[in-house]
Copies of this chain bind each other. A is one copy, B any other.
Amino acid sequence: MADSSAPTRVMMAVNESSLKGYPHPSISCRAAFDWMLSKLVRSNTDGFHLLFLHVQVPDEDGFDDVDSIYASPTDFQSMKQRDKIRGIHLLEYFVNQCHQLGIKCEAWTKQGDPKEVICHEVKRVQPDLLVVGSRGLGPFQRVFVGTVSEFCVKHAECPVITIKRKANEAPRDPIDD
């Protein structure tokens, strides 16, 4: 078990907080990241290579803040530009942390349905492990919210670790994150 072997490639799906908005990472994914560093990577920073994926969900109506039915192609263009910048800022948080700790990493964004895109990227990138944070909702809430983590455990073509948010880290409304 010499660590001259190739580093363990850990892919991590990160998302933004629904409470604070971009570029703040969600409570769940920050908790998952911290857990991974302290419990898996530990002092063995050379043994791991982290891959951060942020999947951006296109707005269904195309306008989350703007209430207007007069839309021009320019509006869509600037919106896409804005989303892209936000996604990059989110990834910057994780890349900076890795840089400070001396852990090699890569980061990229994709658009689409998070659970589908994550599993697709696992197939493409073939990491050794996928880490996903979870709000840890109860069975009742899960029906309405649906969980990305549950889908990935079943469908991702690599081992998956689910890190539930701790009860004391949860905001008042459990759907927030």
Which of A's residues lie within 8 Å of B, judged by CB? 1-3, 5, 8, 35, 37-45, 47, 101, 128-129, 139, 150, 153-154, 159-164
Contact = CB atoms under 8 A, between A and B. Distances in A.
A43 B38 contact: no
A38 B129 CA distance: 12
A38 B1 contact: yes
Copies of this chain: 2
A162 B152 CA distance: 11
B3 A42 contact: yes
24 contacts: A1-B37, A1-B41, A1-B42, A1-B101, A3-B42, A3-B44, A8-B39, A8-B40, A39-B129, A39-B159, A42-B44, A42-B47, A43-B44, A44-B44, A44-B47, A139-B154, A150-B154, A153-B153, A153-B162, A159-B163, A159-B164, A160-B161, A160-B162, A161-B161
A43 B3 contact: yes
Contacts of A159: 35, 39, 161-164
Contacts of A160: 161-162
Contacts of A163: 159
A39 B47 CA distance: 9
Contacts of A3: 42-44
Given A35-B159, A39-B128, 5 more contacts: A2-B43, A3-B42, A5-B42, A150-B154, A159-B164
Contacts of A40: 8, 40, 129
A43 B47 contact: yes
Most chain B C-beta atoms within 10 Å of own C-beta, residue among A2, A44, A128, A139: A44
The 8 A-B pairs of least Cβ separation, nearest first, read A3-B43, A161-B161, A44-B44, A8-B39, A42-B47, A159-B163, A39-B128, A3-B42
